[in-house]
């Protein structure tokens, strides 16, 4: 089979298309003929070497979510899965390939009317958005700021917060055009990447100064500045670090505002039981199939253009998610 591997960490040029032996499902696994592969921020972080502490080595096949047809099952797996179209979480890798393995508990049937590309745009990001807001103890009527809203997590978080009755849903983004698209999805205020109003259009002019919840997908050196945007008893939840880790002393910002009772937390969907993740994912897939939850596919690219996809991500050009297709789309 063809697959994309990381030959050298760093620049997207380190990604290469190679021929690998077809995998064979072990006990508890299924083999999937892949139709669509979601390209995530985590994939880019692994490729850059940001997560080298996790033990990734040259030859690693990136990609954590795919959709396609089950073609083989391992011991202990119900044979009725054969021939079914599914979404699958493959773990920390293995997705950028024509064939992928996944644990049977991490696959989910696709409802009629839901494309493979939509599934890999929503499958992981929707669950993160849902449970991150729950982790922040978000309640109807509260104000929410989504920092880094142009990706698939942010796009879904805007919709989830708006549909749950947020009093305001502000977003940070890079351009007025992106802000317009986010307003179509439920955002009420648009700020620039630094959280300032006005530079990306008039939609942020009356934005709140402070927020009950900040959902941060970016992190990086500017995270402390967004802690100061919290209202009294406000909560900032970091769900990503596409700009890298925050400063080592960022906690001093919390102590400097001790009497405002701010809270900081990280969130990973790994801490949510798989049955709970799958229940929410089932609901979100059904809502997407009905047109009630929208996804944005930035581009469909052949698997061989994985490096091009990563260049677009590094350049900040992506709105939504890039999807790779082994057959070229």
Predicted local confidence at residue 205, as pLDDT = 72
* 65 and 136 housed in the same domain: no
* 244 and 308 housed in the same domain: no
Nearest Cα residue to 60 out of 2, 4, 6, 1:
6
Does residue 103 lie in a domain region?
A: yes
Does residue 278 lie in a domain region?
A: no
Asked if 321 contacts 40 with a C-beta cutoff of 8 angstroms, the reply is yes
Predicted local confidence at residue 329, as pLDDT = 47
Does residue 285 lie in a domain region?
A: no
Domain residues for the domain of 42 are 2-109+296-325
DSSP 188: S
* 178 and 207 housed in the same domain: yes
Question: Where do we find the tokens 């995530």?
Answer: 40
Does residue 58 lie in a domain region?
A: yes
Asked if 251 contacts 262 with a C-beta cutoff of 8 angstroms, the reply is no
Q: How far apart are CA 158 and CA 170, in angstroms?
A: 8
* 130 and 209 housed in the same domain: yes
What is the domain-level CATH number for residue 80?
A: 3.90.180.10
Label residue 209 exposed, middle or buried (CB < 10 Å: 0-12, 13-18, 19+).
exposed
Predicted local confidence at residue 328, as pLDDT = 54
Structure tokens given for 277: 């993740």
CA atoms 246, 247, 248, 253: torsion sign: negative
* 130 and 236 housed in the same domain: yes
* 105 and 128 housed in the same domain: no
SS3 66: strand
Structure tokens given for 276: 């709970």
Stated as kind and residue range, the H or E segment containing 32 is: strand 29-39
pLDDT per residue as tens, the chain (329 positions): 999 999 999 999 999 999 999 999 999 999 999 999 999 999 999 999 988 778 899 999 999 999 999 999 999 999 999 999 999 999 999 999 999 999 999 999 999 999 999 999 999 999 999 999 999 999 999 999 999 999 999 999 999 999 999 999 999 998 989 999 999 999 999 999 999 987 666 666 789 999 999 999 999 999 999 999 999 999 999 999 989 899 999 999 999 999 999 999 999 999 999 999 999 999 999 999 999 999 999 999 999 999 999 999 999 999 999 999 997 54
Structure tokens given for 134: 């729950």
Does residue 226 lie in a domain region?
A: yes
* 215 and 238 housed in the same domain: yes
* 101 and 129 housed in the same domain: no
Q: How far apart are CA 324 and CA 329, in angstroms?
A: 8
Does residue 279 lie in a domain region?
A: no
CA atoms 127, 129, 134, 139: torsion sign: negative
Nearest Cα residue to 176 out of 154, 158, 151, 202:
202
Q: What is the pTM of this model?
A: 0.94
* 78 and 154 housed in the same domain: no
* 84 and 160 housed in the same domain: no
Asked if 143 contacts 212 with a C-beta cutoff of 8 angstroms, the reply is yes
* 105 and 230 housed in the same domain: no
Does residue 249 lie in a domain region?
A: yes
CA atoms 77, 80, 81, 83: torsion sign: positive
* 128 and 61 housed in the same domain: no
Give, in order, the Cα–Cα distances in Å from 319 to each of 122, 171, 181. Answer: 14, 13, 9
Instruction: Give me the number of domains the chain comprises.
Output: 2
Structure tokens given for 301: 């690219």
Structure tokens given for 39: 């390209």
Does residue 38 lie in a domain region?
A: yes
């Amino acid at each position: 089979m063809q697959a994309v591997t990381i030959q050298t960490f760093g620049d997207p040029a380190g990604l290469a298309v190679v021929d690998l032996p077809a995998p064979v499902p072990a006990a508890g696994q299924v083999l999937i003929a892949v139709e669509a592969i979601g390209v995530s921020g985590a994939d880019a972080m692994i490729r850059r070497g940001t997560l080298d502490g996790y033990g990734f080595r040259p030859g690693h096949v990136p990609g954590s979510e795919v959709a396609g047809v089950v073609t083989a099952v391992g011991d202990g797996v119900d044979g009725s899965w054969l021939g079914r179209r599914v979404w699958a979480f493959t773990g920390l890798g293995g997705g950028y390939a024509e064939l992928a393995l996944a644990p049977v508990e991490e696959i989910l049937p696709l409802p009629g009317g839901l494309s493979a590309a939509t599934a890999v745009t929503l499958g992981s990001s929707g669950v993160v958005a849902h449970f991150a807001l729950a982790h922040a103890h978000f309640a109807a009527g509260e104000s929410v700021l989504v920092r880094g809203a142009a990706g698939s997590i942010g796009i879904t978080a805007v919709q989830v917060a708006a549909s749950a009755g947020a009093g305001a849903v502000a977003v940070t983004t890079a351009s007025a055009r992106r802000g317009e698209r986010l307003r179509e999805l439920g955002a009420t205020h648009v700020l620039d990447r630094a959280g300032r109003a006005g530079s990306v259009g008039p939609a942020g002019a009356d934005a709140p100064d402070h927020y009950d919840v900040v959902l941060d997908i970016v992190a990086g050196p500017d995270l402390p500045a967004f802690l100061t945007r919290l209202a009294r008893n406000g909560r900032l939840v970091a769900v990503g670090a596409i700009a890298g880790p925050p400063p080592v002393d960022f906690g001093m910002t919390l102590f400097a505002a001790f009497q405002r009772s701010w809270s900081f937390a990280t969130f990973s969907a790994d801490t949510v039981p798989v049955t709970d993740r799958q229940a929410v994912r089932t609901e979100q897939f059904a809502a997407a199939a009905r047109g009630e939850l929208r996804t944005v596919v930035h581009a469909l690219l052949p698997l061989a253009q994985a490096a091009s996809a990563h260049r677009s991500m590094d350049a900040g050009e992506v709105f939504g998610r890039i999807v790779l297709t082994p057959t070229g789309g």
